[in-house]
A and B are shown apart, each in its own frame.
Chain A
């Protein structure tokens, strides 16, 4: 795709002014890093607060008396039981139980849900939802909205100076509020393992809000490079790498996202795409051929996506799907897939990096304890 075909976010001018290095991502020109660099941006977010432009992500509103029930036909999660103002992690599945996208959704009203989906998947998601539930509810896209993420232990202090109402928010809750007359929709969530917020703001006010946040002493701009290293330390999946249409939630270690009410014996069991397969896998994990695991290398060599995993000194058994040298931990970490027999924490395997075996050990995730604000 040529640069001219790339879309820009409402913050394009600000990124340029801040000296960002821009790269194509999900069809947009996005900042991968600013002059401080990935490492400094990562550590700043862990210690203070980082501001991310995530306006490339898709924002949708699904409305209708039947919206909760309709969404439950697409996702294996408890939608109907979600309280007002509460947010939850969701998975769109295909008929084989494969993950079409992962997303965050929030109940704005009894019959209104707000969704944030991955930028690279949004057009497919919208088409899929229109096809499957378009007759049952209204699917409204919000292409004019910008989306900012403010993440880090000082995010709340910085944002509360501009929007005092956020102090009352706890993790996975959201509110409609305003800043200087600009309507904002803020959730206390993010994808870095830190306390923080995602802020939906009208595109024409996104730059003003970003500037006001950057004027706070705790806040520095952070690019997609550090967003990736932060999410991997937090043990979170990157769609397209760690999960995709060929992985099911049990393979991906995402059973926690399937609430009891949707599982066998639950009040609203099944009724989602691929339910037979997914519920059978949950009932009998021995049927799985692979499982997502966390891995830590025992040598200081970064082990990246697509690196083959071998039985220690033996045959190929799996693959790395995300990997890097963790800036906060100073050691190589990764996510990958292994047969269940090799998935126990502490199991030794070899990653073949440029043909040379690098010893790795299966590790518990998250690699770094999350610091969500649970109130």
Chain B
């Protein structure tokens, strides 16, 4: 597993070269509270790193989901659409958001590793 983190609290698992998996971190779901709705990106659409690719809504607030890396969205988690609370109960597993075919794999190097992300959330 090769997991990296963005400063916007998304995680990227790039262990499968064909498509990286993206979700929100445990820290992010904890800050959001009960997730009640997710708006996922369109499959087949290409995004640049930093683009708004979706929205996650808790009972109290809506937060944008930013694209941590550039590329084409090749799959979204339909189960999460049906059951948004998966983002709370299993944020790095069943609660993943979408898969993206990387167009600039070197962007991964600019993301935080586990230790750096932990430090970042403590700051």
Scan B32-52; emit 1 where CB is below 8 A from any A CB, else 0. Answer: 011011010000000000000
Residue pair A325, B33 in contact (C-beta under 8 Å): no
Chain A positions within 8 Å of B59 at CB level: 38-39, 42, 225, 229, 324-325, 327
B60 contacts A301, CB within 8 Å? no
Q: Assess whether A37 is in contact with B33, with CB atoms less than 8 Å apart.
A: yes
Q: Does A302 contact B (CB under 8 A)?
A: yes
List chain B residues, Cβ under 8 A from A32. Answer: 60
Output the nearest chain A residue to B82 by Cβ-Cβ distance: A300
Question: Are A302 and B37 neighbours in the complex by a CB distance under 8 Å?
Answer: yes
A304 within 8 A of B: yes
A302 touches B33 (CB 8 A): no
User: Are A324 and B33 within 8 A (Cβ)?
Assistant: no
Contacting pair A301 B34 (CB below 8 A): no
B59 to chain A minimum Cβ distance, whole angstroms, is 5
Q: Is the CB of B36 within 8 A of A325?
A: yes
- When distances are taken between beta carbons in the complex, the residues of chain B under 8 Å from A42 are 59
Are the C-beta atoms of B34 and A39 separated by less than 8 Å? yes
In residues 45-87 of chain B, which contact A (Cβ within 8 Å)? Answer: 55, 57-60, 62
From A37, A300, A304, give the contact of B34 (CB < 8 A). Answer: A37
A87 at the interface (CB under 8 A from B): no
Q: Does A33 reach chain B (CB closer than 8 Å)?
A: yes
* A38-B60 contact in complex given A33-B33, A225-B33, A354-B55, C-beta closer than 8 Å: yes
Contact A324 B60 (CB under 8 A): yes
Q: How far, in angstroms, from A39 to B36 measured CA to CA in the complex?
A: 10
| 9-25 of chain A: CB within 8 A of chain B | none
Indicate whether A301 sits within 8 Å of B37 (C-beta atoms), given known contacts A38-B60, A327-B59: yes
Give the interface size class of chain A: 10 to 19
Residues of A within 8 A of B37 (CB): 300-302, 325
Residues in B neighbouring A33, C-beta threshold 8 A? 33
Knowing A229-B59, A327-B59 are in contact, say whether A302-B36 is a contact too (CB < 8 A). yes
Residues of B within 8 Å of A301, CB to CB, are 37, 39, 57
Q: Which residues of chain B are near A39, meaning CB under 8 Å? A: 34, 36, 59
Chain B nearest CB: distance from A259 CB in Å? 36
**Beta-carbon contact of A302 and B34 below 8 Å:** no
Residues on A with beta carbons closer than 8 Å to the beta carbon of B39? 301, 354
CB contacts (< 8 Å) of B60 on chain A: these are 32, 38, 225, 228, 324
A304: which B residues are within 8 A, CB to CB? 62
A78-128 interface with B by 8 A CB criterion: none
How many Å from the CB of A132 to the closest CB on chain B? 37
Central interface residue in A32, A37, A42, A327, by most chain B CB within 10 Å: A37
Task: Count chain A CB atoms within 10 A of each CB in B33, B37, B39, B59 and give the residue with the most.
Answer: B59
Collect the chain A residues with CB atoms within 8 Å of residue B34's CB: 37-39
CA gap between A134 and B60 in the complex, in Å: 40
Whether A325 contacts B55 by the Cβ 8 Å rule is no
0/1 interface trace, chain A 308-343, chain B, CB 8 Å (1 if under): 000000000000000011010000000000000000
Least CB distance, B46 to chain A, in whole angstroms:
20
Q: Which of A290-310 contact B (CB under 8 A)?
A: 300-302, 304
- Shortest Cβ gap from A224 to chain B (Å): 10
A325 CB contacts on chain B under 8 angstroms? 36-37, 57, 59
Q: Smallest distance from the beta carbon of A220 to chain B beta carbons, Å?
A: 16
CB distance from B36 to the nearest CB of A (A): 4
Contacts of B57 in A (CB 8 A): 301-302, 325
| Chain B: CB-nearest residue to A23 | B60
A228-B60, A354-B55 known; 5 new pairs, CB 8 Å cut-off, are A39-B59, A42-B59, A225-B59, A304-B62, A324-B60
Q: List 25 A-B contacts (CB under 8 A).
A: A32-B60, A37-B34, A38-B33, A38-B58, A38-B59, A38-B60, A39-B34, A39-B59, A42-B59, A225-B59, A225-B60, A228-B60, A229-B59, A300-B37, A301-B39, A301-B57, A302-B37, A302-B57, A302-B62, A324-B59, A324-B60, A325-B37, A325-B59, A354-B39, A354-B55
The 4 A-B pairs at the shortest CB distance, nearest first, are namely: A39-B34, A325-B36, A38-B59, A302-B57
